[in-house]
Amino acid sequence: MGQLLQLIIRNGGFFTLLLVEAFCFYVTVQYNTKQNAIFTHTMGLASGNMLERRQKWVDYFSLEERADSLKSANGALLSELAIAHVVQVPYRDTFLTVRLDTLHFGDSIAVRKIARPQYHFIAAKIIGNTINSANNWLYLNRGKNDGLRPDMGVVTGKGIVGIVRHVDPNFSAVMSVLHREARISVTLKNQKALGSLVWEGGDPSLMTLRYVPRHFDVKVGDEIVTSGYSELFPRGVPVGKVASQPEPDKENQYFWIMQIRLSQDMSSVNDVYVVDNIFQTELDSLKQKVKDE
């Protein structure tokens, strides 16, 4: 306090100047029309500028929240996209499955009524992931309360990730595609040749594709997508590319065996979508009926 007083006394002229100038500034703005107009205008600009800066900060700090809502929106769009590719159209006493882009009457009300969503996507974040075990698991920040059930597929925009196995109220455990028990039904994108994708350990970016019949001409670089027959994954989700020359399977000479390089890098997967097959219960009960017969 004493030092402060000494400082003020030593620099008395300067502090007096500051006080007098502050007073003069007030009087000038208060009693001079021109200066008042300039001051009001400048303050208007400054406060507008400050408000804009404040808004930018608010926007910055709400980025996570906004990203979350965007992911949800993306999930909803993916759901729509899944039904947008293929629709069933009544034809005489049966239904024809037609790709939407080949329909000339795609906008008609009749088609829209028939087009029903089969999948809906739930956005989730990975909170735990392993890739170096013989059987790998992932953990999601979504659970039963978010609509997750066992046996739901997990995908990203780039490819497949795994299958939900255990569900708690708020979290769930996902069997990674890098798990020896995981079997994914896939197809060659251009040739519709079905196969089964398994992981035999080792390199986490490579999986083995089995049971592709030998009469298919498979080349390195051919794209692999999900077949849509497993009900876990929608048809056509990218999986990877053929990475090695197909060889006859030693266990079964009628089929090719080949390595597939995954399109989704499992070591850097972060945001995912859980695939909710809306008709899963209906399909399950149908299968049960067949079993019971």
Partner 1 sequence: MNKSVLPSVWRFLGLVAVQGLLLHQVGSAINEYFNVLLYPLFILLLPVQISSTVAVLLGATIGMAVDMFYASPGVHASAGAFSGFARSIILAGFKPKGGYTGKEPIPSPVYFGWPWFLQVAGIYFAAHLFWYFSVNAFSFVYFTTITAKTLVGWSLTMIFVVLYCILFNPKN
Residues that bind partner 1 (CB under 8 A): 12-14, 16-17, 20-21, 23-32, 34-35, 38-39, 42
The terminus-to-terminus CA distance of the chain in angstroms comes to 95
Rounded to a whole number of angstroms, the CA Rg of the chain reads 32
Do 280 and 129 meet the contact criterion of CB atoms below 8 Å apart?
no
C-alpha closest to that of 76 among 236, 273, 233:
273
To partner 1, the closest distance from the beta carbon of 60 in angstroms equals 32
- Where do we find the tokens 């390595």? 259
To partner 1, the closest distance from the beta carbon of 5 in angstroms equals 15
Q: Which is nearer to partner 1, 38 or 103 (CB)?
A: 38
To partner 1, the closest distance from the beta carbon of 33 in angstroms equals 10
Q: Which is nearer to partner 1, 21 or 181 (CB)?
A: 21
Q: Which is nearer to partner 1, 49 or 145 (CB)?
A: 49
Helix (H, G, I), strand (E, B) or coil at 195: strand
Element (H, E) at 76: helix 63-84
Q: Which is nearer to partner 1, 39 or 216 (CB)?
A: 39
To partner 1, the closest distance from the beta carbon of 53 in angstroms equals 22
Q: Which is nearer to partner 1, 34 or 92 (CB)?
A: 34
To partner 1, the closest distance from the beta carbon of 38 in angstroms equals 5
Do 121 and 273 meet the contact criterion of CB atoms below 8 Å apart?
yes
